[in-house]
Amino acid sequence: MRFNLKKEYVIITGLLLVIVFFSDVLRIILGLPFALFLPGFLLTLVLYPRKDELEGLARIALSVGLSIIIVPLIGLVLNYLSWGVRLLPMMLSLIFFDIILIFLSWCRRTNLPEEERFALTFHIGSIKWSNKTKGTKIIHTALLIAVFLLIVTSVLILYSPKTGENYTEFYITSLNNVKTGYPEQLQTGEYGTVKTVIINNEQQKTTYRMEIWVDGDIIQTISPINLENLEKWERNVSFKIEKPKDLAKVDFVLFRDGQDTKPYRQLRLLVEILP
């Protein structure tokens, strides 16, 4: 029994399925075939548009191999761009790359007689292993191994714990939300004000304590600061110094959880205090 499917329908359906990212499970089930097969398959249509240029199983094996080369190369390019190697830029890049290959393969196919064009077909039948040629056995074995490895990899990715880098963003800005314009000169007893920002990326709820030091002496403590993962906290804080000084050291010191002795993050401003 043979099924003939129009290439255009398969490709368009594939591209639409890639966009369906409702859950991690669907992302893996639908994403892997179109990341590890479709780009290479489209490239084989550009390189070998005739149906007699590549045997069916050889085309499948070459499609998988080319996809394994293409996808990391796209990721390498994204790594040097501002988008970075993230899900959405990677997905859009693959779709854009596939669209280019679809156009090129269409140009190649239109220059061939219809009877010579490659058509995607599936053949369902039973052939004894002993009747296969040695080359066909090797290709079938390689494909079975590749499919097995893809399934194992998918299961490991699906059920492995997802952990990201644990860190806390801690910075100060001027009241205009720019990282310039800090108070560099103050009169004795005059208040200086900055905005402090904390963003929790510790992958869990975290409690912080912030202290403001002037030349090593604590002048203000803000605690507790309870933040959920990815939660942002910001507040305007003020300080003043009662004695003239060429350069006073104003430190904004952040402590995490029960770490009461060793600062987790520390920022410093040097301020001239005029008489």
- How far is C-alpha 130 from the chain's CA centre? 46
Query: What pLDDT is attached to residue 210?
Result: 92
- The full set of domains in the chain, from first to last, is 2-159 (no CATH), 167-274 (2.60.40.10)
The bridge status of strand 120-123 relative to strand 2-5 is antiparallel
Tens-digit pLDDT profile for residues 75-119: 888 888 777 777 778 878 888 888 888 888 888 888 888 777 777
Distance separating alpha carbons of residues 149 and 273, to the nearest angstrom = 67
Q: DSSP class of residue 32?
A: H
The stretches of the chain forming alpha helices (DSSP H) are 7-18, 24-36, 38-47, 56-79, 87-110, 134-159
In this prediction the pTM is 0.45
Query: What pLDDT is attached to residue 157?
Result: 57
Query: What pLDDT is attached to residue 2?
Result: 43
Residues 195, 172 contacting (CB under 8 angstroms) = yes
Tell me phi and psi for residue 253, to 5 degrees: -115, 130
Query: What pLDDT is attached to residue 256?
Result: 87
In the chain, which stretches have pLDDT less than 70?
Answer: 1-31, 56, 120-133, 135-137, 139-140, 143-144, 146-148, 150-164, 179-180, 258-260
